[in-house]
Chains A and B, each alone.
Chain A
Amino acid sequence: MSQFLQVMLSGLATGSIYALVAIGFTLVWQAAQTVNFAQGEFVMLPAFFVLAAMKLLGMPFWSALLLGLAISLLVLGLLFKKLIVEPILPHGGITLIIATMALGILLKESVKEFYSAEAQPFPSLFPARHLDFHGAVLSLQDIFNLVLCLAIVVSLTLFLNRTRTGRCMQATAQNPAVAEILGVNVKRMILYTFLINAGLAAIASFLITPVYLAKFSNGESLGLIAFIAAIVGGFNQIRGALVGGLLIGVLDNLTATYVTAEYRAALPLVLLIAVILVRPQGLLGTKEGRAV
């Protein structure tokens, strides 16, 4: 029982971080109708902003974290939209997808070239303490990760559904032309979407890097798993991305513990095939319509 609890909690904690990244996929899909294949690198990079701030500027960890978040919003939100998405989008979604693939390679290789090819330690946001629960020793880090991610997802959902700006973003996603006629500043709403995506990627980066270690190649597996999570949950729904992320996190751990460790990497792909065959729009996705 204690093992099951431990594995479940770890799976949920990791899955919740996958969910943050997966939500980024759905947001960019809604805003630009494209898949950002650099999303994994968007999660890898903020940790290096923080490390660079600590190493080069001598900043304390928490200040470096804030600076890392700000740079992420600027580079992965504003500049990504202005320099990549806006100029390329008129040439078609496929072109933009290829551009994001190229961007992913550029970011990865740049970190390798200008920072380090070796993994780097990254401080944890939470204390390394434990909690005894029915015989299981539960890590506070896992609990905090899970709670923080869920709080972010709930807040984001409330923001999109209960605030005027959020509803304007929804309208922009559903039909930009009509939204503009109704007085919505479409460009600004799209910018907000990219900034939120950058913020989510940065938070995911700060939460997962203490365990995964900071490395230029981290985005490869993270990006793939989150992409699959978004499809499994439903590519056009935030709650779908949340469910997809949690599901993959938990199933991965359960499979490795109780079934096979050797083939655990295949699990997300098996899940993806199963969902595509049975419910192509994803577990919580809708067949049509675009809504953030």
Chain B
Amino acid sequence: MLRKTLWIATTALLSALGTAHAADTVKLGMVAELSGAGAPAGTNWRDGIKIAAEEINAEGGILGKKVQIDEYDTQTDPQVSRALVQKAIDGGAYVILGTIYSGSTMVNMLVAQQNSMPQFVGSESPAVVQKGNPFVFRTSSGAQKGVPALTAYFKDTLKAKTVGVAWVNNEFGKGGHTVFLKEMEKAGIKVIADVPSEQAQTDYAADVAKLKQAAPDAVFVYMNQEESARFLIEAKKQSLAMPLVGEVTLTEAKVIELAAGSAEGAIAHVGLTATATDVPGIAAFATKFEATFKRKPTHDAIKGYIGAWTTKYVTEMVGKFDGEAFSTRMHGLCLKVADHPKILMDTCWDDTGEMSRPSFMVQVKNGTPVVIGQVPAN
């Protein structure tokens, strides 16, 4: 009898504790590329979110509930990412944070949509916000916004008449490639070498040789991080002389670390950069990130950080944990740094989930991306 009573009492106590814990926390499902080709992006995304979660909890959580980050590793596999978004939802996530790779996001965002779950993504393919999904929101501009910001640089600064384009043949690369070709046509710049490569490709000798033979005035490099680094190493090996200009990834900290001296002189348009230290919020984030993880943050880390903080800001505007209300509030929303300091820069989202904010042109000098210009929000 005593054993039975104890058993019931213990079970009741544990259930109560479990319920109390669940009631006191809100789960954010962090679904990202923690291994595989996308690991540099995914791990930074995760670590940015971790810093945000720590700060949010220090400020009392979201609507009084502590934030709990549940991590899911997609292994940079779209099908795995789809299953993991479902798993995160089944696990009680309130918002999905991820994925980064557009190929994965295109597959898994349907699962979040079916469950009316808001999803912040690091993906930059134009297609992500062109599918009419009301629950998907970017943390950085899509290629259709970022790449056009480069047109003026090619035309006015480099005064290029001809360009080459080296791009990775995945969802991310295809999106940027298409936009770039259109932009060059509009600007009257001739694309004389169009060189696609595969994701996780290791040998870029032929790609660089083709660009070298074509001898354009400049080359637009649109690849993921590891591929960008390998391309830069090969470009240096073959003494590719013309300016190498990229969008976002080409001057990322991880790319510079991997390519070392080969990254010197590379130029890129970046939505966010930890080296924009004249922006107070970014400087503070970069300092905290470096102190915590003993490495410099990439733009993916800042994107993850912003995604988590936006979750807090918008949920508290809505006043309840409601995915549909959250998504409705996000459309057409502008968050000002003056009112929401952890958004880092004034940011707006349109009705498709696309976002806009000021951006930067950077160049790698002495192993560090240095801001060489600011581009207004478009």
Name A's B-contacting residues (CB within 8 A). 2-3, 6-7, 10-11, 14, 112, 117-121, 128, 130, 137, 139, 141-142, 210-213, 215, 217-218, 221, 252-254, 256-257, 261-262, 264-265
- Which residue in B37, B40, B207 is a CB contact (below 8 Å) of A261? B207
Q: Which residues of chain B come closer than 8 Å to A254, judged between CB atoms?
A: 206
Say whether A119 contacts B239, CB under 8 Å: no
Say whether A141 contacts B229, CB under 8 Å: no
- Which residue in A117, A130, A212, A256 is a CB contact (below 8 Å) of B230? A212
Q: Mark B261-282, 1 if CB is under 8 A from A, else 0.
A: 1100000000000000000000
**Chain A nearest Cβ from B285, distance in angstroms:** 21
| CB within 8 Å for A213 and B206 given contacts A3-B213, A112-B35, A117-B35 | no
Q: Which residues of chain A come closer than 8 Å to B212, judged between CB atoms?
A: 3, 6
A120–B40 CA distance with the chains assembled, in angstroms: 10
- Asked whether any CB of chain A lies closer than 8 Å to the CB of B283, the reply is no
Q: Which residues of chain B come closer than 8 Å to A215, judged between CB atoms?
A: 226
Say whether B258 contacts A213, CB under 8 Å: yes
Q: Which residues of chain B come closer than 8 Å to A7, judged between CB atoms?
A: 205-206, 209
Q: List 24 A-B contacts (CB under 8 A).
A: A10-B206, A112-B35, A117-B34, A117-B39, A119-B39, A119-B229, A121-B260, A128-B237, A210-B233, A212-B230, A213-B226, A213-B258, A217-B37, A217-B200, A218-B202, A221-B202, A253-B205, A256-B206, A257-B206, A257-B210, A261-B195, A261-B206, A261-B207, A262-B196
Q: Which residues of chain A come closer than 8 Å to B185, judged between CB atoms?
A: none
Say whether A119 contacts B226, CB under 8 Å: yes
Seed contacts A119-B39, A253-B205; 17 additional CB < 8 Å A-B pairs? A3-B209, A7-B209, A14-B205, A117-B36, A117-B43, A118-B254, A121-B259, A211-B234, A212-B202, A213-B226, A215-B226, A218-B202, A253-B206, A254-B206, A257-B209, A261-B206, A262-B196
A218–B203 CA distance with the chains assembled, in angstroms: 12
Name B's A-contacting residues (CB within 8 A). 34-37, 39-40, 43, 169, 195-198, 200, 202-203, 205-207, 209-210, 212-213, 226, 229-230, 233-234, 236-239, 254, 257-262
**Chain B nearest Cβ from A121, distance in angstroms:** 5
- Which residue in B36, B43, B169 is a CB contact (below 8 Å) of A217? B36
**Chain A nearest Cβ from B186, distance in angstroms:** 26
**5 closest cross-chain pairs (CB), A and B:** A10-B205, A256-B206, A117-B35, A3-B213, A117-B39
Chain B CB within 10 Å, residue with most, of A10, A118, A253: A118
**Chain A nearest Cβ from B251, distance in angstroms:** 16
A142–B261 CA distance with the chains assembled, in angstroms: 18
Say whether A139 contacts B209, CB under 8 Å: no
Which residue of the partner chain B has the closest CB to A265? Answer: B198
**Chain A nearest Cβ from B303, distance in angstroms:** 17
| CB within 8 Å for A256 and B207 given contacts A6-B212, A118-B254, A262-B169 | yes
A252–B236 CA distance with the chains assembled, in angstroms: 21
Q: Which residues of chain A come closer than 8 Å to B34, judged between CB atoms?
A: 117
Say whether A119 contacts B258, CB under 8 Å: yes
Q: Which residues of chain B come closer than 8 Å to A213, judged between CB atoms?
A: 202, 226, 229-230, 258
Q: Which residues of chain A come closer than 8 Å to B43, judged between CB atoms?
A: 117-118
A142–B205 CA distance with the chains assembled, in angstroms: 10
Q: Which residues of chain B come closer than 8 Å to A218, judged between CB atoms?
A: 202
Q: Which residues of chain B come closer than 8 Å to A10, judged between CB atoms?
A: 203, 205-206, 209
Q: Which residues of chain B come closer than 8 Å to A141, judged between CB atoms?
A: 237
Say whether B205 contacts A130, CB under 8 Å: no
Q: Is the interface of A mostly helix, strand, loop or mixed?
A: helix
**Chain B nearest Cβ from A81, distance in angstroms:** 30
A130–B208 CA distance with the chains assembled, in angstroms: 15
Which residue of the partner chain A has the closest CB to B225? Answer: A119
Say whether A118 contacts B196, CB under 8 Å: no
Q: Which residues of chain B come closer than 8 Å to A211, judged between CB atoms?
A: 202-203, 230, 233-234, 237
Say whether B239 contacts A137, CB under 8 Å: yes
Q: Which residues of chain A come closer than 8 Å to B262, judged between CB atoms?
A: 128
**Chain A nearest Cβ from B229, distance in angstroms:** 6
**Chain A nearest Cβ from B212, distance in angstroms:** 7
Say whether B261 contacts A128, CB under 8 Å: yes
Q: Which residues of chain A come closer than 8 Å to B196, judged between CB atoms?
A: 261-262
Q: Which residues of chain B come closer than 8 Å to A253, judged between CB atoms?
A: 203, 205-206, 209
| CB within 8 Å for A6 and B226 given contacts A137-B238, A252-B203 | no
Say whether B230 contacts A6, CB under 8 Å: no
Say whether B210 contacts A139, CB under 8 Å: no
Which residue of the partner chain A has the closest CB to B233? Answer: A211
A6–B343 CA distance with the chains assembled, in angstroms: 49
A272–B37 CA distance with the chains assembled, in angstroms: 27
**Chain A nearest Cβ from B239, distance in angstroms:** 5
Q: Which residues of chain B come closer than 8 Å to A128, judged between CB atoms?
A: 236-237, 261-262
Say whether B40 contacts A118, CB under 8 Å: yes
A235–B106 CA distance with the chains assembled, in angstroms: 43
A2–B229 CA distance with the chains assembled, in angstroms: 24
A2–B40 CA distance with the chains assembled, in angstroms: 36
Which residue of the partner chain A has the closest CB to B42? Answer: A117
Chain A CB within 10 Å, residue with most, of B202, B207, B226: B202
A112–B202 CA distance with the chains assembled, in angstroms: 18
